[in-house]
Structure 1
């Protein structure tokens, strides 16, 4: 059972503010990548698509002298930490199951290791999928954050993805009568 859909997330003002800041087209693309990876890996596609959609919700805009500074961002950003907090709070407010909200928030937290000290973590399959989905959509110097998508197209794509997730979670799809 899904408590919160991608469209529920998309329609919330917090998502509009922070996911738009980091790139709505990128977030939607990552959610699609995560869906396909989850199906291949037998991971819950509902959790994977939500985590991938929200993975950059913690981004801050790093500017120097009025211009985006990619190096300043790369050196100082901890968006995954802020993002995990924002994602968890948003999901709980929207009525997501607390266990699912925590799993999604942890996947957001661990989608990148750019802020962690050198070492290795053992990621869960969900966390690995979200990191891979993000990597699959990356462009040099953060270009993936600047792609644009119209509201109409975003809504259409997320509705379609919600339908795919519902179908994937439905154990007995309806059979057409002959």
Structure 2
């Protein structure tokens, strides 16, 4: 049984604050990409969509002279670390199973290479899905974080995605879930 749905996550004030700060349209698009990628690769769609939705909630906005500075962001940002921590705490508060919260947080932690030392990292299938979902919606210069979406349309898309995930659950095709 899904104890915590995407709707529960999305409704929480902490999620609302940080999703809007980091790019709500991007987060929702990444969650949809994660859903389709998870289906294709046999990965748990519930965990994949939650991780993709929350993957950028650790963003700090880097400005120089009052303007977004993409290069400063690329050189100094560690948003995946902060995001993993925020997501884990949020999911535990909402009642997510601790093992699921940990898997989601680790997928968020490893969704980008921007802060990691150079070299290849072996990701789990869930971690790879979240990385690919993020990359599928990226735009040059970080512009994907500044696309806008109305609150009403965001809610509609979250409810639709939640329904898709629930159908997979009802059909017993969520994959491994604790």
TM-score over 0.5 for the alignment?
yes
| Residue 96 (structure 1) shift | 0.5
Residue 69 of structure 2 is matched in structure 1 by 69
- Partners of 1:119 and 1:84 in 2: CA distance: 21
Counterpart CA distance in 2 for 1:29 and 1:63 is 25
Q: CA RMSD in A?
A: 1.1
TM-score if structure 2 supplies the norm length? 0.95
1:43 partner SS:
coil
Runs of 4+ residues deviating >4 angstroms: none
Distance 1:53 1:4 in 2: 14
Please report how far the alpha carbon of residue 153 of structure 1 lies from its aligned counterpart in structure 2 after TM superposition: 0.5
Partner in structure 1 of residue 41 of structure 2? 41
* Runs of 5+ unmatched residues, structure 2: 174-178
- TM-score scaled to structure 1, two decimals? 0.95
Hey, what does 1:163 align to over in structure 2? 163
Larger radius of gyration: 1
Q: How many residues align?
A: 173
- Offset, 1:172: 6.4
Counterpart CA distance in 1 for 2:160 and 2:54 is: 17
Q: 1-side partners of 2:172 and 2:54: how far apart?
A: 29
Q: In the alignment, what sits opposite 1:28? A: 28
Deviation at 1:132, TM superposition (A): 0.2
Q: Does 1:60 align with 2:60?
A: yes
